[in-house]
Amino acid sequence: MKFFILKRRRQRCKHLFFSVIIVIFTCYLYLPNLLIGEGVVKHTSVHHRNLTKHVIIKNSFIQSQLSDIISAKNYESTINNYHFIENILQEDHLNDKLKKVSSKSDKKYVYIFRKFFVIVIQVHSRLNYLRELIKSLKEVKYIEQALVIFSHDIYDEEMNQLVKSIDFCATLQIFYPFSLQLYSNKFPGDDPNDCPRAITKEKAKQLKCNNADHPDTFGHYRESKIVQIKHHWFWKLNYIFDKLSLTSRMENLHVLLLEEDHYLFQDSIHIIHQLTDKILSDVDVVSLGYFKGKLQLFDKKEIHLWSKGYWWASSNNIGILVSRKFFEQIKNCSKMFCEYDDYNWDWSLQQVIQKCFKDVVVSLYPTFSRVAHLGECGTHFKSKACDPKVKLGEMKKKYEESKSNFFPRDLNFSGKIFGMRKIKKSNGGWSDPRDHELCKSFVLK
Protein backbone atom coordinates (compact mmCIF):
# COMPACT_ATOMS: atom_id res chain seq x y z
CA MET A 1 0.00 0.00 0.00
CA LYS A 2 2.78 2.43 0.94
CA PHE A 3 4.48 1.57 -2.32
CA PHE A 4 1.43 2.58 -4.40
CA ILE A 5 1.00 5.82 -2.43
CA LEU A 6 4.65 6.74 -3.02
CA LYS A 7 4.31 5.86 -6.69
CA ARG A 8 1.25 8.13 -7.10
CA ARG A 9 3.03 11.01 -5.37
CA ARG A 10 5.99 10.60 -7.69
CA GLN A 11 3.68 10.66 -10.72
CA ARG A 12 1.95 13.83 -9.45
CA CYS A 13 5.32 15.51 -8.87
CA LYS A 14 6.43 14.44 -12.31
CA HIS A 15 3.26 15.88 -13.91
CA LEU A 16 3.59 19.09 -11.93
CA PHE A 17 7.24 19.43 -12.95
CA PHE A 18 6.40 19.07 -16.65
CA SER A 19 3.47 21.49 -16.31
CA VAL A 20 5.78 24.14 -14.87
CA ILE A 21 8.29 23.53 -17.67
CA ILE A 22 5.55 23.97 -20.31
CA VAL A 23 4.31 27.22 -18.71
CA ILE A 24 7.82 28.65 -18.56
CA PHE A 25 8.53 27.65 -22.17
CA THR A 26 5.21 29.15 -23.36
CA CYS A 27 5.91 32.45 -21.59
CA TYR A 28 9.40 32.50 -23.08
CA LEU A 29 7.97 32.13 -26.59
CA TYR A 30 4.89 34.36 -26.49
CA LEU A 31 5.26 36.91 -23.71
CA PRO A 32 7.60 39.18 -25.73
CA ASN A 33 5.05 39.50 -28.52
CA LEU A 34 2.29 40.32 -26.05
CA LEU A 35 4.40 42.94 -24.34
CA ILE A 36 5.46 44.54 -27.60
CA GLY A 37 1.88 44.55 -28.86
CA GLU A 38 0.78 46.53 -25.80
CA GLY A 39 3.71 48.93 -25.98
CA VAL A 40 4.97 47.85 -22.54
CA VAL A 41 8.55 46.98 -23.44
CA LYS A 42 10.77 50.00 -23.90
CA HIS A 43 14.18 48.69 -22.92
CA THR A 44 15.80 45.27 -23.08
CA SER A 45 18.83 43.68 -21.48
CA VAL A 46 21.34 41.12 -22.70
CA HIS A 47 19.49 38.50 -20.67
CA HIS A 48 16.42 38.76 -22.89
CA ARG A 49 17.85 37.94 -26.31
CA ASN A 50 14.59 36.65 -27.72
CA LEU A 51 12.73 39.79 -26.62
CA THR A 52 15.44 42.01 -28.08
CA LYS A 53 15.14 40.16 -31.38
CA HIS A 54 11.39 40.85 -31.56
CA VAL A 55 11.86 44.55 -30.69
CA ILE A 56 14.48 44.94 -33.41
CA ILE A 57 12.23 43.23 -35.97
CA LYS A 58 9.27 45.46 -35.05
CA ASN A 59 11.34 48.67 -35.12
CA SER A 60 12.99 47.66 -38.37
CA PHE A 61 9.59 47.12 -39.97
CA ILE A 62 8.35 50.54 -38.81
CA GLN A 63 11.52 52.27 -40.01
CA SER A 64 11.28 50.44 -43.32
CA GLN A 65 7.68 51.52 -43.88
CA LEU A 66 8.34 55.14 -42.94
CA SER A 67 11.61 55.23 -44.90
CA ASP A 68 9.82 54.07 -48.04
CA ILE A 69 7.31 56.91 -47.69
CA ILE A 70 9.93 59.57 -47.00
CA SER A 71 12.64 58.47 -49.46
CA ALA A 72 10.10 58.47 -52.28
CA LYS A 73 9.09 62.02 -51.33
CA ASN A 74 5.61 60.55 -51.06
CA TYR A 75 4.60 62.05 -47.73
CA GLU A 76 0.96 61.50 -48.59
CA SER A 77 -1.13 58.46 -49.26
CA THR A 78 -4.01 58.53 -51.72
CA ILE A 79 -7.19 60.42 -50.87
CA ASN A 80 -9.80 58.02 -49.57
CA ASN A 81 -13.48 58.68 -50.34
CA TYR A 82 -12.59 61.36 -52.89
CA HIS A 83 -16.15 61.26 -54.25
CA PHE A 84 -17.36 63.26 -51.22
CA ILE A 85 -15.49 66.39 -52.35
CA GLU A 86 -15.34 65.95 -56.12
CA ASN A 87 -18.49 67.96 -56.93
CA ILE A 88 -17.79 70.60 -54.30
CA LEU A 89 -14.34 71.25 -55.78
CA GLN A 90 -15.94 71.82 -59.17
CA GLU A 91 -18.56 74.16 -57.68
CA ASP A 92 -15.93 76.19 -55.85
CA HIS A 93 -13.57 76.43 -58.82
CA LEU A 94 -14.71 79.97 -59.73
CA ASN A 95 -14.58 81.25 -56.15
CA ASP A 96 -10.87 80.90 -55.40
CA LYS A 97 -10.30 84.57 -54.61
CA LEU A 98 -11.61 86.98 -52.03
CA LYS A 99 -14.07 89.11 -54.00
CA LYS A 100 -15.06 92.69 -53.38
CA VAL A 101 -18.74 93.38 -53.58
CA SER A 102 -20.41 96.10 -55.60
CA SER A 103 -20.70 99.67 -54.33
CA LYS A 104 -24.37 99.02 -53.52
CA SER A 105 -23.35 96.98 -50.48
CA ASP A 106 -22.65 98.50 -47.08
CA LYS A 107 -19.58 96.29 -46.68
CA LYS A 108 -16.26 97.11 -48.30
CA TYR A 109 -15.87 93.47 -49.27
CA VAL A 110 -17.25 90.03 -48.56
CA TYR A 111 -14.95 87.45 -47.05
CA ILE A 112 -15.43 84.33 -49.19
CA PHE A 113 -15.32 81.05 -47.35
CA ARG A 114 -15.54 78.11 -49.73
CA LYS A 115 -17.75 75.11 -49.12
CA PHE A 116 -14.62 73.00 -49.46
CA PHE A 117 -11.96 73.39 -46.77
CA VAL A 118 -9.33 71.29 -45.07
CA ILE A 119 -9.28 69.94 -41.53
CA VAL A 120 -5.79 68.89 -40.49
CA ILE A 121 -5.23 66.81 -37.36
CA GLN A 122 -1.75 66.62 -35.85
CA VAL A 123 -1.39 63.02 -34.67
CA HIS A 124 1.20 61.52 -32.33
CA SER A 125 0.53 58.31 -30.41
CA ARG A 126 -2.71 58.58 -28.39
CA LEU A 127 -4.95 56.15 -30.25
CA ASN A 128 -7.75 56.28 -27.66
CA TYR A 129 -8.09 60.05 -28.05
CA LEU A 130 -7.91 59.91 -31.84
CA ARG A 131 -10.68 57.33 -31.89
CA GLU A 132 -12.99 59.68 -29.94
CA LEU A 133 -12.14 62.64 -32.19
CA ILE A 134 -13.06 60.60 -35.27
CA LYS A 135 -16.37 59.62 -33.65
CA SER A 136 -17.11 63.31 -33.06
CA LEU A 137 -16.21 64.18 -36.67
CA LYS A 138 -18.77 61.69 -37.91
CA GLU A 139 -21.53 63.63 -36.13
CA VAL A 140 -20.51 67.06 -37.50
CA LYS A 141 -22.93 68.47 -40.05
CA TYR A 142 -21.30 69.29 -43.44
CA ILE A 143 -18.23 67.17 -42.64
CA GLU A 144 -18.59 65.61 -46.11
CA GLN A 145 -17.57 68.99 -47.58
CA ALA A 146 -14.12 68.82 -45.98
CA LEU A 147 -10.93 66.94 -46.68
CA VAL A 148 -9.68 65.62 -43.34
CA ILE A 149 -5.88 65.29 -43.32
CA PHE A 150 -4.16 63.23 -40.63
CA SER A 151 -0.58 64.43 -40.19
CA HIS A 152 1.46 61.78 -38.35
CA ASP A 153 4.87 61.98 -36.70
CA ILE A 154 5.00 58.22 -36.05
CA TYR A 155 4.14 55.23 -38.20
CA ASP A 156 1.60 53.04 -36.42
CA GLU A 157 -0.35 50.38 -38.27
CA GLU A 158 -3.27 50.39 -35.83
CA MET A 159 -3.70 54.14 -36.31
CA ASN A 160 -3.43 53.72 -40.06
CA GLN A 161 -6.21 51.14 -40.05
CA LEU A 162 -8.40 53.38 -37.90
CA VAL A 163 -8.03 56.27 -40.36
CA LYS A 164 -8.60 54.00 -43.36
CA SER A 165 -11.86 52.78 -41.80
CA ILE A 166 -13.45 56.26 -42.07
CA ASP A 167 -16.32 56.17 -44.55
CA PHE A 168 -18.15 59.47 -43.97
CA CYS A 169 -15.74 62.01 -45.54
CA ALA A 170 -12.62 62.32 -47.71
CA THR A 171 -9.38 61.60 -45.84
CA LEU A 172 -5.66 61.78 -46.49
CA GLN A 173 -2.64 60.75 -44.44
CA ILE A 174 0.67 62.62 -44.53
CA PHE A 175 3.83 61.83 -42.58
CA TYR A 176 6.27 64.28 -41.00
CA PRO A 177 9.54 63.38 -42.78
CA PHE A 178 11.88 64.00 -39.81
CA SER A 179 10.17 61.65 -37.38
CA LEU A 180 12.15 60.50 -34.36
CA GLN A 181 11.37 56.96 -35.48
CA LEU A 182 13.71 57.54 -38.42
CA TYR A 183 16.25 59.70 -36.62
CA SER A 184 16.47 57.90 -33.29
CA ASN A 185 20.26 58.21 -32.96
CA LYS A 186 21.01 61.42 -34.82
CA PHE A 187 19.62 64.91 -35.23
CA PRO A 188 16.76 65.82 -35.17
CA GLY A 189 16.57 62.87 -32.77
CA ASP A 190 18.99 62.32 -29.91
CA ASP A 191 22.57 62.29 -31.14
CA PRO A 192 24.77 60.36 -28.65
CA ASN A 193 26.96 63.46 -28.39
CA ASP A 194 24.14 65.90 -27.65
CA CYS A 195 24.26 67.72 -24.33
CA PRO A 196 22.03 66.40 -21.54
CA ARG A 197 19.10 68.75 -20.83
CA ALA A 198 20.01 69.86 -17.30
CA ILE A 199 23.80 70.11 -17.61
CA THR A 200 25.50 73.49 -17.06
CA LYS A 201 27.06 75.34 -19.96
CA GLU A 202 30.47 75.07 -18.31
CA LYS A 203 30.16 71.31 -17.95
CA ALA A 204 28.81 71.03 -21.52
CA LYS A 205 31.89 72.78 -22.88
CA GLN A 206 34.13 70.43 -20.93
CA LEU A 207 32.31 67.48 -22.46
CA LYS A 208 32.45 69.14 -25.91
CA CYS A 209 28.91 68.00 -26.65
CA ASN A 210 27.28 69.10 -29.92
CA ASN A 211 25.24 72.09 -28.83
CA ALA A 212 27.32 73.19 -25.83
CA ASP A 213 27.29 76.87 -26.85
CA HIS A 214 23.51 77.06 -27.15
CA PRO A 215 21.55 76.50 -23.94
CA ASP A 216 18.09 78.07 -23.87
CA THR A 217 16.77 81.03 -21.88
CA PHE A 218 16.77 78.91 -18.72
CA GLY A 219 20.16 77.27 -19.27
CA HIS A 220 18.75 73.99 -20.56
CA TYR A 221 19.53 72.02 -23.70
CA ARG A 222 17.15 70.68 -26.35
CA GLU A 223 14.80 67.74 -25.88
CA SER A 224 14.02 66.06 -29.19
CA LYS A 225 10.53 64.87 -28.18
CA ILE A 226 9.54 68.39 -27.20
CA VAL A 227 10.93 70.31 -30.19
CA GLN A 228 9.40 67.84 -32.65
CA ILE A 229 5.90 69.23 -31.90
CA LYS A 230 6.75 72.73 -33.17
CA HIS A 231 8.65 71.32 -36.15
CA HIS A 232 5.71 69.11 -37.09
CA TRP A 233 3.21 71.97 -36.70
CA PHE A 234 5.16 74.29 -39.01
CA TRP A 235 6.00 71.56 -41.53
CA LYS A 236 2.38 70.47 -42.03
CA LEU A 237 1.22 74.06 -42.66
CA ASN A 238 3.91 74.62 -45.28
CA TYR A 239 3.26 71.25 -46.86
CA ILE A 240 -0.51 71.67 -47.17
CA PHE A 241 -0.46 75.27 -48.38
CA ASP A 242 2.55 75.11 -50.70
CA LYS A 243 3.37 71.52 -51.65
CA LEU A 244 0.36 69.23 -51.50
CA SER A 245 -0.83 68.79 -55.10
CA LEU A 246 -4.56 69.21 -54.40
CA THR A 247 -4.33 72.32 -52.20
CA SER A 248 -1.17 74.20 -53.19
CA ARG A 249 -2.89 76.06 -56.05
CA MET A 250 -6.02 76.98 -54.11
CA GLU A 251 -5.84 80.71 -53.56
CA ASN A 252 -8.74 80.80 -51.12
CA LEU A 253 -7.74 77.76 -49.10
CA HIS A 254 -8.78 77.52 -45.44
CA VAL A 255 -7.33 74.98 -43.00
CA LEU A 256 -8.84 74.17 -39.60
CA LEU A 257 -6.13 73.08 -37.15
CA LEU A 258 -6.95 70.30 -34.70
CA GLU A 259 -5.00 67.81 -32.58
CA GLU A 260 -5.59 64.18 -31.71
CA ASP A 261 -7.07 64.97 -28.28
CA HIS A 262 -9.71 67.45 -29.51
CA TYR A 263 -13.46 66.88 -29.77
CA LEU A 264 -15.83 68.70 -32.15
CA PHE A 265 -19.45 69.59 -31.48
CA GLN A 266 -22.02 68.86 -34.18
CA ASP A 267 -22.54 72.47 -35.33
CA SER A 268 -18.85 73.46 -35.50
CA ILE A 269 -18.78 73.87 -39.31
CA HIS A 270 -22.09 75.73 -39.16
CA ILE A 271 -20.45 78.15 -36.70
CA ILE A 272 -17.43 78.57 -38.98
CA HIS A 273 -19.72 79.68 -41.81
CA GLN A 274 -21.43 82.18 -39.53
CA LEU A 275 -18.23 83.66 -38.10
CA THR A 276 -16.39 83.98 -41.42
CA ASP A 277 -19.32 86.09 -42.59
CA LYS A 278 -18.41 88.58 -39.86
CA ILE A 279 -14.71 88.87 -40.75
CA LEU A 280 -13.61 92.39 -41.67
CA SER A 281 -9.92 91.91 -42.40
CA ASP A 282 -7.73 89.51 -44.35
CA VAL A 283 -5.80 88.57 -41.21
CA ASP A 284 -8.73 88.07 -38.87
CA VAL A 285 -9.03 84.45 -37.76
CA VAL A 286 -11.79 82.24 -36.46
CA SER A 287 -11.06 80.17 -33.34
CA LEU A 288 -13.64 77.52 -32.49
CA GLY A 289 -12.44 77.26 -28.91
CA TYR A 290 -11.83 79.85 -26.21
CA PHE A 291 -10.07 79.63 -22.85
CA LYS A 292 -10.53 82.12 -20.04
CA GLY A 293 -7.46 81.50 -17.95
CA LYS A 294 -7.18 77.72 -17.71
CA LEU A 295 -10.93 77.14 -18.10
CA GLN A 296 -12.59 76.45 -21.43
CA LEU A 297 -15.97 78.14 -21.72
CA PHE A 298 -19.10 75.99 -22.21
CA ASP A 299 -21.84 78.22 -20.81
CA LYS A 300 -25.15 77.04 -22.30
CA LYS A 301 -26.62 80.51 -21.72
CA GLU A 302 -24.13 81.90 -24.24
CA ILE A 303 -24.43 79.24 -26.93
CA HIS A 304 -25.77 81.80 -29.45
CA LEU A 305 -23.12 84.46 -28.72
CA TRP A 306 -19.79 85.37 -30.29
CA SER A 307 -16.97 87.69 -29.28
CA LYS A 308 -13.77 89.08 -30.71
CA GLY A 309 -10.47 90.37 -29.44
CA TYR A 310 -6.76 90.45 -30.20
CA TRP A 311 -5.51 86.91 -30.81
CA TRP A 312 -3.82 85.52 -27.69
CA ALA A 313 -1.94 82.21 -27.57
CA SER A 314 -3.40 80.79 -24.36
CA SER A 315 -6.98 81.85 -25.19
CA ASN A 316 -7.40 81.31 -28.93
CA ASN A 317 -5.00 78.49 -29.82
CA ILE A 318 -7.57 75.72 -30.26
CA GLY A 319 -9.53 75.10 -33.45
CA ILE A 320 -7.89 77.92 -35.47
CA LEU A 321 -9.07 78.44 -39.05
CA VAL A 322 -6.02 79.52 -41.06
CA SER A 323 -6.55 81.22 -44.42
CA ARG A 324 -3.91 81.39 -47.13
CA LYS A 325 -3.36 85.11 -46.49
CA PHE A 326 -2.81 84.43 -42.80
CA PHE A 327 -0.39 81.62 -43.66
CA GLU A 328 1.53 83.89 -46.06
CA GLN A 329 2.12 86.34 -43.22
CA ILE A 330 3.42 83.52 -41.00
CA LYS A 331 5.69 82.40 -43.83
CA ASN A 332 7.00 85.94 -44.34
CA CYS A 333 7.93 85.95 -40.63
CA SER A 334 9.37 82.42 -40.68
CA LYS A 335 12.83 83.55 -39.57
CA MET A 336 11.44 85.00 -36.36
CA PHE A 337 9.11 82.04 -35.83
CA CYS A 338 11.94 79.53 -36.31
CA GLU A 339 14.51 81.34 -34.18
CA TYR A 340 12.35 82.46 -31.25
CA ASP A 341 13.39 80.54 -28.12
CA ASP A 342 10.08 78.88 -27.35
CA TYR A 343 9.25 75.23 -28.02
CA ASN A 344 5.52 76.06 -28.22
CA TRP A 345 4.19 76.83 -31.71
CA ASP A 346 1.39 79.02 -30.27
CA TRP A 347 3.66 81.32 -28.24
CA SER A 348 6.06 81.51 -31.18
CA LEU A 349 3.08 82.54 -33.32
CA GLN A 350 2.14 85.13 -30.70
CA GLN A 351 5.63 86.59 -30.97
CA VAL A 352 5.50 87.00 -34.75
CA ILE A 353 1.93 88.34 -34.71
CA GLN A 354 2.96 91.17 -32.38
CA LYS A 355 6.51 91.77 -33.62
CA CYS A 356 6.41 90.95 -37.34
CA PHE A 357 2.88 91.02 -38.81
CA LYS A 358 1.93 94.18 -40.66
CA ASP A 359 -1.63 94.11 -39.34
CA VAL A 360 -3.20 93.45 -35.97
CA VAL A 361 -4.78 89.98 -35.78
CA VAL A 362 -8.31 89.80 -34.37
CA SER A 363 -9.80 86.47 -33.30
CA LEU A 364 -13.52 85.80 -33.71
CA TYR A 365 -14.80 82.97 -31.52
CA PRO A 366 -18.05 81.48 -30.19
CA THR A 367 -18.52 82.22 -26.49
CA PHE A 368 -19.59 78.58 -26.09
CA SER A 369 -16.56 76.66 -27.44
CA ARG A 370 -17.30 74.32 -30.36
CA VAL A 371 -14.09 72.33 -30.01
CA ALA A 372 -13.09 70.81 -26.68
CA HIS A 373 -9.69 69.79 -25.43
CA LEU A 374 -9.99 66.32 -23.88
CA GLY A 375 -6.28 65.76 -23.20
CA GLU A 376 -5.43 64.69 -19.64
CA CYS A 377 -1.87 63.72 -20.44
CA GLY A 378 0.68 65.02 -22.90
CA THR A 379 3.24 67.82 -23.20
CA HIS A 380 1.51 70.17 -20.75
CA PHE A 381 -0.75 67.74 -18.90
CA LYS A 382 0.79 65.14 -16.60
CA SER A 383 -2.27 63.27 -15.34
CA LYS A 384 -1.72 59.58 -14.67
CA ALA A 385 -5.04 58.69 -16.30
CA CYS A 386 -4.59 59.01 -20.06
CA ASP A 387 -8.18 58.08 -20.76
CA PRO A 388 -10.59 60.46 -22.51
CA LYS A 389 -13.73 58.83 -21.08
CA VAL A 390 -14.18 61.18 -18.11
CA LYS A 391 -13.77 64.38 -20.12
CA LEU A 392 -15.79 62.86 -22.95
CA GLY A 393 -18.66 62.19 -20.56
CA GLU A 394 -18.56 65.83 -19.47
CA MET A 395 -18.68 67.03 -23.09
CA LYS A 396 -21.62 64.79 -23.96
CA LYS A 397 -23.47 66.02 -20.89
CA LYS A 398 -22.91 69.63 -21.95
CA TYR A 399 -24.20 68.81 -25.40
CA GLU A 400 -27.33 67.06 -24.10
CA GLU A 401 -28.08 70.05 -21.85
CA SER A 402 -27.71 72.50 -24.74
CA LYS A 403 -28.52 70.57 -27.94
CA SER A 404 -31.82 72.35 -28.55
CA ASN A 405 -29.87 75.62 -28.87
CA PHE A 406 -27.19 74.37 -31.26
CA PHE A 407 -27.23 75.45 -34.93
CA PRO A 408 -28.38 79.03 -34.17
CA ARG A 409 -29.71 80.92 -37.20
CA ASP A 410 -27.45 83.79 -36.28
CA LEU A 411 -24.91 84.60 -33.59
CA ASN A 412 -25.39 87.66 -31.42
CA PHE A 413 -22.39 89.84 -30.67
CA SER A 414 -21.52 89.75 -26.96
CA GLY A 415 -18.82 92.40 -26.98
CA LYS A 416 -15.20 93.17 -27.74
CA ILE A 417 -12.27 92.12 -25.60
CA PHE A 418 -9.50 94.45 -26.67
CA GLY A 419 -6.22 95.56 -25.20
CA MET A 420 -2.99 94.08 -26.51
CA ARG A 421 -1.17 92.20 -23.78
CA LYS A 422 2.57 92.22 -23.35
CA ILE A 423 4.27 88.94 -24.23
CA LYS A 424 5.77 87.24 -21.22
CA LYS A 425 9.25 85.76 -21.20
CA SER A 426 9.69 82.92 -23.69
CA ASN A 427 9.34 79.33 -22.47
CA GLY A 428 12.74 78.29 -23.85
CA GLY A 429 13.52 74.82 -25.17
CA TRP A 430 14.30 76.11 -28.68
CA SER A 431 17.81 77.54 -28.77
CA ASP A 432 19.74 75.03 -30.87
CA PRO A 433 20.78 76.48 -34.28
CA ARG A 434 20.15 73.07 -35.86
CA ASP A 435 16.47 73.37 -34.95
CA HIS A 436 16.37 76.89 -36.35
CA GLU A 437 17.76 75.77 -39.70
CA LEU A 438 15.56 72.68 -39.94
CA CYS A 439 12.46 74.77 -39.23
CA LYS A 440 13.37 77.35 -41.89
CA SER A 441 14.02 74.60 -44.43
CA PHE A 442 10.30 73.76 -44.50
CA VAL A 443 9.47 77.05 -46.21
CA LEU A 444 9.09 76.97 -49.97
CA LYS A 445 11.48 79.59 -51.36
Write the DSSP assignment of 325-368 as a string of letters: HHHHHHHHTHHHHHHSSBS-HHHHHHHHHHHT-SS--EEEEESS
Q: Which of 168, 183, 295, 268 is nearest to 228 (CA)?
A: 183
Per the annotation, does 254 bind a ligand? no
Do residues 291 and 367 touch, judged by C-beta distance below 8 A? no
Per the annotation, does 47 bind a ligand? no
CA distance 237 to 240: 5
Positive/negative CA dihedral, 361, 367, 372, 376: positive
Per the annotation, does 228 bind a ligand? yes
Per the annotation, does 359 bind a ligand? no
CB within 8 Å of 112: residues ≥ 6 apart: 95, 97, 98, 99, 252
C-beta atoms surrounding 26 within 10 Å: 10
Q: Which of 91, 348, 351 is nearest to 227 (CA)?
A: 348
**Helix %, strand %, coil % of the chain (to 5):** 40, 15, 40
Write the DSSP assignment of 373-408 as a string of letters: E--SBSSS-B-S---THHHHHHHHHHHHHHGGG-S-
Q: Which of 132, 173, 146, 122 is nearest to 268 (CA)?
A: 146
Per the annotation, does 262 bind a ligand? no
CA distance 42 to 386: 18
What is the Cα gyration radius of the chain? 26
Start-to-end CA span in the chain (Å): 95
CA distance 81 to 85: 8
Per the annotation, does 436 bind a ligand? no
CA distance 138 to 126: 19
Per the annotation, does 124 bind a ligand? yes
Packed helices 2-37 and 49-71: angle between N→C axes, nearest 10 degrees: 20
Residue 341 backbone dihedrals phi, psi, to 5 degrees: -75, 70
Residue 230 backbone dihedrals phi, psi, to 5 degrees: -70, -40
Per the annotation, does 279 bind a ligand? no
Q: How far is CA 337 from CA 151, 228, 273, 334, 343, in A?
A: 21, 15, 30, 5, 10
CA distance 107 to 122: 36
Per the annotation, does 231 bind a ligand? yes
Bind-site residues for substrate: 122-126, 153, 228-232
- Point out the annotated binding site: 122-126, 153, 228-232, 261, 373
Residues annotated in the binding site for Mn(2+), as ranges? 261, 373
